[in-house]
A and B are shown apart, each in its own frame.
Chain A
Amino acid sequence: MLEQKKLIVSHAPFWHNGSRVTHRNYHTMLATLPAVLAGIYYYGIPVFGVVCLSVATAMLWELAINLVAKQPVTIGDGNAALIGLLIAMLFPATMPWWAVITGTFIAVVIGKQIFGGIGSNAFNPVALAVAIMMISWKDFFNFDGMLLNYDFDFAAVYPLAAAKHFGSGSLETLGLKDLLMGRQIGGLGATFGLGLIIGGIYLMLRGFIRWEISLTFLAGVYITALLFNLIDPERFISPGIHILSGYTLIGAFFLATEDSSSPVNTMPMLIYGIAGGIMTVLIRNIGAYIDGVILAILVINLVNPLLDKIRPQALGKVV
């Protein structure tokens, strides 16, 4: 045999369904676009600056860690870019540049890479970073204060802060339709409810996020808020406002569903989602913080490994 062709020997299976980590991340980024574009529409060009800086620095932090740790460069998988994009969406439009860079540092380096990179993070990097920043620089997340110099053609009020300080009466003029269309104050990519819902539905249909988590999260928020509202309508706002304001939608569709920090079995996913929803409203209504989504997500991230112990019995398992 003079001419022996070299064949590749590999293990079965020899087919793959073509799914990629990059696809998941890029499609998730695609799904955020309606909300981000609405942010640019409402808050102008500063939004563009914050988003670009955030995505760029998140990727640079990841690259820096890759180089320092002598690992293969992983910025191409889109995960760092996605983290940068999501954290920017939670910031107010006027976030100072150094705060953006600090935020992406916390998210990428402390939230993700220290744990061992993609797939190993116990907490959602974005939620972790925002939680640390909310505690460190409270004023940056006081949306009413941060957006003071804007002149909006709608009632410039951060619904959750108003509800917390002045009770539900202060929001009587606020229509759910306005909230849905983003005519409210909040994070630059978190206010356009319709866009987030469209993005979320797209991701659920494509299977990039699990509907079990997102829908139960929203159900948890709605049911708990409804109970509070029924008990004391003066003090507690209606569940519709809870769903459409603050970080609820972005949390349900983009933060709680993060792969590494969420369960994979059906029952744990349902419990995880509903627990997140309940925690959110508890923190908002009787806790010290204005928005509870970020902290609620950290809490459910924490119980995720325990929840995932609830698992079906394997076929033929010998007990």
Chain B
Amino acid sequence: MLKKSFFGLSRSQIEYELLPARLPEPDRVVPSNKVTLFHTKNGNQNAPASLQVGDKVKTGQKISLFADDPAYVTSSVTGTISSISPYSGDFGKTYNAIAIKIDENEVLDDQFKKQIQSPDLTGLIDYLSFLPGNPQLSALSDPETKIHTIVIMGADSDLLIGTNQAIVKSRLDAVQKGIGILRDVTGIEKIILITAGESMQGYGHIGAQVKNIDTAYPAALPHMIMKNVLGEVVPAGKTCTDMGVCFLTAEATAAIGNAFSEEQIPVRKILTLVTKDGKQRLIETAIGTPIRDILDTYGVSINEEDRIIFGGPMAGSAVYSLDHPVLPDTDGIVVIDRSDAAYASDYPCINCGDCVRVCPTRIQVHMLVRFLEAGQYEEAADNYDLHSCIECGLCSFVCVSKIPIFQYIRLAKYELERAEASEAMDTMETTEGAEATDA
């Protein structure tokens, strides 16, 4: 764990770790007997009839549970569906967890090969949305947000994680092909590849502008890239997509490239495994592999009260079960021993101002947190810039009182979103009611 430096005169900087120029190939980890895929679920959709327990699926087969919903998953193995059960994720997100028992013989699905003769955007959205790296391809075709720039993230946003850096270093050809395909299907000329702290040499042929970013956290967060690289500040409460910029990971770009050169949907995710001793390993495994299998492969023993984190140590999320599967956007798995993990406290803010000095967006965190602690989310948003937060987690990291500031901020944003949604629903009902009376 990083500690405060002895001298505290200036603001401390946390550096991203940069990978060496030459990397070993990622280790292959094979799921032992089953994988689980999370299919997004909207509201109260009933369990579908289109697919049932006991059905056989092939590697790369598209599994769509609901006929009227574009969401789908891509099977990463060949096998039999053993269960479909509801699953609740963070912040009220709901999924259908599809467990697939693996057969011995792998059969590759050829639907993608048959359907896609030449790449086009609809085809990409129809078949490649569940690629490793979780590309948000549907944003590219959304007529309301006119995307004019695609940013390929060859740097990882969180600390300790080196997944996308490794992709840029070792699979540059695939990234290049992916960039070509994206340019062809979207017609967007401005494509920028972000790299972390390295020389620009060797990227001339890639077909995209290459921009190097600072190596101090949180320079690789999308909002910081918008500000520092593109020179546009995202207004509070807006997303980068609203600004017409689409962020894709280097891994997703490489996967798009590979999908067409190998005529098969890539189903294996590269991720960085950080074990308790701090050792980082690059591994490659099927999407849906339970973390238990990965940890068993490396003999990582898990004790009671340890923490397993998906993503990095600053902005990742902890999981509660060893059966949790690797998701398409899981760039890293960090195992933290119970003695090393940070605990939050309910101590009051002492107004030291460390959070204010460390905040990359200059939010008055010490005031904000007082409103958030009291549950006054609207005042926090109106007067103390709640929506300017880019969710880097530095305020909680430096907090002397160990207040879970970042958690308060996420909770406040979530609650405000919910309140807005229910308000919109109410208005809709009232208008409908009024129309009914008029009639």
Pair from one complex: yes
Q: How far apart are A93's CB and chain B's nearest CB, in angstroms?
A: 31
CB nearest to B322 among chain A residues: A5
**For the complex, is B180 an interface residue (Cβ under 8 Å from A)?**
no
Cβ B356 vs Cβ A264 within 8 A: yes
Q: How far apart are B243's CB and chain A's nearest CB, in angstroms?
A: 10
Describe B's contact surface by its main secondary structure. Answer: loop
**For the complex, is B396 an interface residue (Cβ under 8 Å from A)?**
yes
Cβ B4 vs Cβ A8 within 8 A: no
B-chain residues with CB within 8 Å of residue A119 when the two chains form the complex: 348-351, 401
Cβ A264 vs Cβ B305 within 8 A: no
CB nearest to B394 among chain A residues: A13
How many residue-residue contacts, CB under 8 A, span A and B? 190
Cβ A15 vs Cβ B236 within 8 A: no
Cβ A13 vs Cβ B314 within 8 A: yes
Taken together as a complex, chains A and B put the C-alpha atoms of A5 and B407 apart, in Å, by 25
Cβ B350 vs Cβ A204 within 8 A: no
**Which residue, A12, A210, A265, has most C-beta atoms of chain B within 10 A?**
A12
Identify A260's interface contact among B4, B344, B351, B387, CB under 8 A. B351
A-chain residues with CB within 8 Å of residue B353 when the two chains form the complex: 210, 259, 263-265
**For the complex, is A136 an interface residue (Cβ under 8 Å from B)?**
no
Q: Which of B50-58, B99-107, B255-263, B361-369 contacts A (4 or more CB under 8 A)?
A: B361-369
Cβ B356 vs Cβ A316 within 8 A: no
How many residues in A have their beta carbons less than 8 Å from beta carbons of B? 49
Identify A17's interface contact among B3, B341, B407, CB under 8 A. B3
**Which of the four size classes fits the interface of chain B?**
35 or more
Cβ B348 vs Cβ A316 within 8 A: no
**Which residue, B344, B347, B354, B360, has most C-beta atoms of chain A within 10 A?**
B347
* Bitwise interface map of B from 208 to 233 toward A, beta carbon under 8 Å scored 1, else 0: 00000000000000010001000001
B-chain residues with CB within 8 Å of residue A77 when the two chains form the complex: 347
**For the complex, is A306 an interface residue (Cβ under 8 Å from B)?**
no
**For the complex, is A70 an interface residue (Cβ under 8 Å from B)?**
no
Taken together as a complex, chains A and B put the C-alpha atoms of A120 and B223 apart, in Å, by 34
CB nearest to A305 among chain B residues: B367
- Contacting A at CB under 8 A, from B339-388, are 341-344, 347-354, 356-357, 360-364, 366, 385, 387-388
Known: A8-B307, A14-B313, A316-B234. A24 touches B362 (CB 8 A): no
Known: A205-B8, A205-B9, A316-B238. A14 touches B227 (CB 8 A): no
Cβ B318 vs Cβ A10 within 8 A: yes
Known: A5-B322, A6-B304. A18 touches B3 (CB 8 A): yes
CB nearest to A6 among chain B residues: B304
CB nearest to B7 among chain A residues: A205
A-chain residues with CB within 8 Å of residue B315 when the two chains form the complex: 12-13
Describe A's contact surface by its main secondary structure. Answer: loop
**For the complex, is A20 an interface residue (Cβ under 8 Å from B)?**
yes
Known: A16-B342, A315-B360. A8 touches B314 (CB 8 A): no
Cβ B388 vs Cβ A314 within 8 A: yes
**Which residue, A9, A204, A316, has most C-beta atoms of chain B within 10 A?**
A316
- Contacting B at CB under 8 A, from A300-319, are 308, 311-318
B-chain residues with CB within 8 Å of residue A231 when the two chains form the complex: none
Known: A5-B306, A118-B348, A317-B388. A14 touches B336 (CB 8 A): yes
- Contacting B at CB under 8 A, from A1-30, are 1, 4-21, 24
CB nearest to B159 among chain A residues: A15
10 pairs from A and B in contact (CB 8 Å cutoff): A8-B338, A11-B407, A14-B314, A14-B342, A19-B399, A205-B9, A207-B4, A259-B351, A314-B236, A317-B236
Spell out B's residues near A (CB within 8 Å): 1-4, 6-9, 12, 223, 227, 233-238, 302-309, 311, 313-323, 334, 336, 338, 341-344, 347-354, 356-357, 360-364, 366, 385, 387-388, 390, 393-394, 396-402, 404, 406-407, 410
Spell out A's residues near B (CB within 8 Å): 1, 4-21, 24, 77, 116-120, 204-208, 210-211, 259-265, 308, 311-318
